[in-house]
Amino acid sequence: MSVRLTRRSFLALAALGLAGGGAAAVRALTHDDTGEWNGPARTAALLFDDPEAARVLGERWIERPSPEDDAQRLVELLSQDQPALGRALTAADVPALRRLAGSRVAHDLGAGHFLVVDGWFVSFTESRLAALLAVP
């Protein structure tokens, strides 16, 4: 079954670097729809307006020829150039993670570190964060 990434879902993913941490805080305080995840994956899920759409993107990332299908490895890769990003993930610091990931996404796009999903440019950082929702 092929799942298309909708424009709305992509815009929610793209908002990762643009939106403030308020939306995640409201979600965490009101209706936490991230119950299926824990640890860094749960923190990453709080970044997305539609965690399920992000999970689908994560599955696409994992299906690549060089899969990154281990949560610990994904956190290591996300921390590689920006250790504070990994610390924010493991500490469940959503506002810091949102800020750091936004900076990293901008860097990725400028450096050409992105893939095209259904015609949309998605940075490696966004893809790895989404992959955290897709790994077992």
- Residue 87 half-sphere exposure toward CB, CA atoms < 13 A: 7
| Residue 30, token pair as written in the block | 């009101």
**Residue with more model confidence, 67 or 10:** 67
**Residue with more model confidence, 116 or 66:** 116
Q: Cβ distance 28 to 47 under 8 Å? A: no
Q: Is 116 helix (H, G, I), strand (E, B) or coil?
A: strand
| Position 16 pLDDT exceeds 90 | no
* Mean per-residue pLDDT, 34-55: 87
Alpha helix locations (H) across the chain? 7-14, 22-29, 40-45, 51-62, 71-80, 83-91, 94-111, 124-132
pTM: 0.72
